[in-house]
Amino acid sequence: MKIHKEGRRILFVTLLILLALNLLMFQFNRGQDLVNRLFAGATVIIFLLILQFFRSPFRHLFTHEDLLLAPADGKVVVIENVFEPEYFEDERKQISIFMSPINVHVTRNPISGLVKYFKYHPGNYLVAWHPKSSTQNERTTVVVESDAGPLVLFRQIAGAMARRIVWYVNEGDEVSQGEEFGFIKFGSRVDVFVPLDTEVKVELGQKVKGGETVICQLKV
């Protein structure tokens, strides 16, 4: 287990603020030991909650050109055929994974290949399960030409708590399955769009691990 690089500055600043607040409490609230201890305990809990947002556990990664791995930790909330308007402009199979505040917030490449398209979209911060969050929230869209051949689109989507999306890929990059392609600070959701004949390997409500759980198999 390690702390992700995206959280180190936030954790350092948070620690300084909480330490300063505790020093002020003990300075101006002398004689109220119980209150001071309760406040100190509450700040420790707050720090630990923020700390767990930025954990980055070790994962046993494997690669296979026609298998898609989960791009994030969380729960499968959507498996359906939908019209994808941004890039494909036709019907695709959508698999969506919801990341709760207690999940790991690293996002990983579901497949190896060449990045054919990338775009960042500023937007709103609707709750992640809102039907319009996929098209109206802050998000990034990545399209990879997989080593197996088919194009795969995956999308980071911010939610009500997630206020910043970070990405590490650009058009023309070669990406490897399971490696980090970004981070969603304080969670939200990742959508994956694959060809209609793709065989889904997960079920609604199933919990998945990014870089480990196989979510579907491409037809090649």
C-alpha torsion angle, residues 18, 23, 25, 31 (rounded to 10): 140
- Compute the radius of gyration of the chain from its Cα atoms: 20
Cα angle for residues 77, 83, 88 (degrees, 5° grid): 115
Residues 6+ apart with CB under 8 A from 126: 132, 133, 136, 137, 159, 160
95 contacts 72 by C-beta, under 8 angstroms:
no
| CB-side neighbour CA atoms (13 Å) of 24 | 7
Contact yes or no for 113/175 (Cβ under 8 A): yes
Catalytic residue among 96, 133, 134, 188: 188
Q: Are 182 and 168 in contact (CB under 8 A)?
A: yes
- The yes-or-no answer on residue 112 being catalytic is no
CA nearest neighbour of 116 among 157, 87, 82: 87
Q: Locate 106 and state its tokens.
A: 């690293």
Using the structure block, give the residue that is written with the tokens 């109206």. 136
> Hey, which residues does 97 pair with through a beta bridge?
76, 190
The token pair that represents 43 in the structure block? 């700040």
Q: Which residues are catalytic?
A: 188
